[in-house]
Structure 1
Amino acid sequence: MNVKSRIRMAAAAGAVAMGLSLFATPASADSETRQIVGVGSDTTQDVVNGLGNVILDPNNIPDNQLIQSYNATGTGSVTCRVGLPIARPNGSSAGIDALRNDLTNTAIDCVDFARSSRGPVDFSTTRLTWIPFAKDAVTVAVRSNSALNDNVGFTTAELRAIYTCTKTTHNSVTLKPLLPQSGSGTRTFFLEKIGVTEAQLGSCVNGTVQEHDGTALTDVGHIAPYSIAQYIAQTGGVVTDRHGATVLAKVDTIQPRIAGKLNTAFPYNRDVYNVVPSAKLNGGTAPDADLIRAFESIPNVNPALATTAEICAQTAVIENYGFGTVTNCGNTSVKAER
């Protein structure tokens, strides 16, 4: 039994001793009672919360559900273990760094996996594994009452010019480009897709907003990257609706949605991941059966012996939150440091 299991079982025993039930209701996104704990990406927090509500813990210790996923934003710190709070990680990079810090400082014992809407950027080690589980895509959102909402959208070249501030107007509207907060996987991915580095951002990009929050677009000149899956889930009533008055724009003439669903052929499409310690996967130095069960699909030359990650079996849940499914769900070939 690992340290996390002992701590959680002790917490469960304490709750029972006080006459409390750990099994009466599902844990919320900010109340840790489950076996494996994740933090990080705003983009995937809701779908991972949803998956956590349907994936069961076979031994019912300390809860009958396996995955606990803390929201990227909220009130106060995150306390994943008894009396050991950490600053709430907001975004993919912050979540990955929290996981790395947990591995380096064993006294923390807090984070088991990180949600990430970006792939790795540092291949100096193989300490972490990026495990894909769904498909998303990113476009830009504009206000519905703006002349930017013209059903034509933007080209990649235009978006590059907008975010380097060499293009300052569009359809006679003064542009006021916005980006998600630093450390956001969506920010990293979007800038990569339009071919702009952080150093190349123009001075007109002077506002940062919480990612996928359309209520932050208050001016007709505002334009910001937006997860198509998040937009579908928000406007469909599956998650808290933050889209405000925004609409999604085409990019390079391609529609972001087809029949209300994610267009997986959209030019800025991406896999989204759960990042776990490589040592805790199948064949690692300290395999964790719960992490493997949740996230890792294990192929075998004998199909009868192959296993599918619990998260990969929940295709209906993944699609309900606006994401597309991926054939490489549960693949553990991508390894890096951060």
Structure 2
Amino acid sequence: MNVISRARLGAVLGAAVLGVGVFAAPALADPPAGDYRVLAGAGSDTTQDVLNGIGDAVDGGRTIASYNATPTGTVKTREVNCEIARPNGSSAGVTALNTAVDTNSGCLDFARSSRGPADTSTSQDLTFIPFAKDAVSVAVRDDSALNNDLDLTTAQLAAIFRCDAGARVLNGVTLTPLLPQLNSGTRTFFLGRIGVTEAQVGSCVATMQEHNGLALDTAGDIAPYSIAQYISQVTNVVEDRHGATALGRIDGSEPFTAEGTLNTGFVYNRDVYNVVPTAKLTDPVIDAVFTGTDSKVCTAVSAGQSVIEKYGFGRIDHCGDTTDPALKGER
């Protein structure tokens, strides 16, 4: 079994944070209808909940409107002429932000992204501003034989998601691998870490909405999963959609610390970002909300606790940094 079971993880985190009210009602999925705040953003499923929490904690909930990745359909971000297709995933959010910039619509001011820029060679139109640490492990059902001291290597994962013939069975179970939806930053990140291109993804791989453990409904299911999302789901900080899943080790690396928090040194760790138009970095509201370690995103507190940590993420000393040229790009 995993070193920290689902039940123990909940108990450990619960004991650690009950005193600061972490089990209060989760932040709203979207701002209430007609609540058009100063800044509007959308995109990543991974960071939608923590941005909802930050939006509620900052300026009495008046400044940041963060719209969830699901359900499908449209979302209205401004009172007039801003009913747009709801962006589902980091790439969808970045694309929607680019569209807002190109058309000067004002419909979106930032995008949520769990990946860095896809292209830094031809444009510096967008700046990816890191604000927290996450990591990605793999989830399996906790009642499956796959969850028997699960510890996969990167080479094994590459073979599994290429659907190589010799990698289709593990612990006597036929594997049914799943990947997050297209446009998911987690999908892009995970495939990059295991060294598999989109063209190499095997025909045995199905698609699921990322970080939704309810989609793992057969014994052979295996999928990448945000560790921060898993922690916040298990502890009921957000809607609990982890289902019957458990997280395994990768290359011997443990997803959780002994206290049940995110292991920020996990082998597949990553920064997560808020993306803003580079030309808007000097805007006083954008600057105050996103830029620097003293920004409102980086310092948001709820009931005496860092909102970033409340939602299962790790804090970083470069939160709000806008100086890294490798984080400017994307067109």
TM-score normalised over the length of structure 2: 0.85
Q: 1:314 pairs with 276, 289, 300, which one?
A: 300
The aligned runs of 1:120-139 (5 Å cut-off) are 120-123=117-120, 124-139=122-137
Secondary structure of residue in 2 paired with 1:279: helix
Separation of aligned partners in 1, 2:149 and 2:36: 47
For structure 1, the 5+ residue unaligned runs are 1-25, 58-63, 283-287, 298-306
Give the aligned partner of residue 60 of structure 1.
none
Report the residue type matching 1:318 in the other structure. Answer: I
Greater than 3 Å deviation, 4+ residue runs: none
Give the aligned partner of residue 271 of structure 2.
271
Q: What is the count of residue pairs matched by the alignment?
A: 291
Separation of aligned partners in 2, 1:254 and 1:27: 34
Post-superposition shift, 1:27? 7.4
Secondary structure of residue in 2 paired with 1:97: helix
Post-superposition shift, 1:172? 1.1
Give the aligned partner of residue 37 of structure 1.
40
For structure 2, the 5+ residue unaligned runs are 1-26
Identical counterparts, % of pairs: 57
Report the residue type matching 1:43 in the other structure. Answer: T
Q: 1:56 to 1:276 in 2, by over 3 A?
A: same
Provide Cα deviations, 1:85-135, integer angstroms capped at 9, x if missing partner. 1000000000000000001112x3200000000000111100000000000
Give the aligned partner of residue 301 of structure 1.
none
Separation of aligned partners in 1, 2:66 and 2:316: 21
Separation of aligned partners in 1, 2:177 and 2:328: 34
Give the aligned partner of residue 5 of structure 1.
none
Report the residue type matching 1:336 in the other structure. Answer: G
Separation of aligned partners in 1, 2:252 and 2:109: 41
Give the aligned partner of residue 21 of structure 1.
none
TM-score normalised over the length of structure 1: 0.83
Give the aligned partner of residue 183 of structure 1.
183
Provide Cα deviations, 1:3-60, integer angstroms capped at 9, x if missing partner. xxxxxxxxxxxxxxxxxxxxxxx97614342100010000000000000011117xxx
Separation of aligned partners in 1, 2:173 and 2:225: 20
Tell me, yes or no, if the aligned pair for 1:114 and 1:275 is still in contact at 8 Å: yes
The aligned runs of 1:53-72 (5 Å cut-off) are 53-56=56-59, 65-72=62-69
Tell me, yes or no, if the aligned pair for 2:45 and 2:88 is still in contact at 8 Å: yes
Provide Cα deviations, 1:225-258, integer angstroms capped at 9, x if missing partner. 0000000000001000000000001111111001
Matched, 1:324 2:323: no
Post-superposition shift, 1:150? 1.0
Tell me, yes or no, if the aligned pair for 1:54 and 1:65 is still in contact at 8 Å: no
Separation of aligned partners in 2, 1:28 and 1:195: 34
Considering only aligned residues, what root-mean-square deviation do their CA atoms show, in Å?
Answer: 1.5
Report the residue type matching 2:62 in the other structure. Answer: Q
Matched, 1:295 2:295: no
Secondary structure of residue in 2 paired with 1:148: helix
Separation of aligned partners in 1, 2:31 and 2:308: 21
More relative contact order in 1 or in 2 (CA 8 Å, sep 6+)?
Answer: 2
Secondary structure of residue in 2 paired with 1:308: coil
Tell me, yes or no, if the aligned pair for 2:29 and 2:49 is still in contact at 8 Å: no
The aligned runs of 1:89-128 (5 Å cut-off) are 89-106=87-104, 108-123=105-120, 124-128=122-126
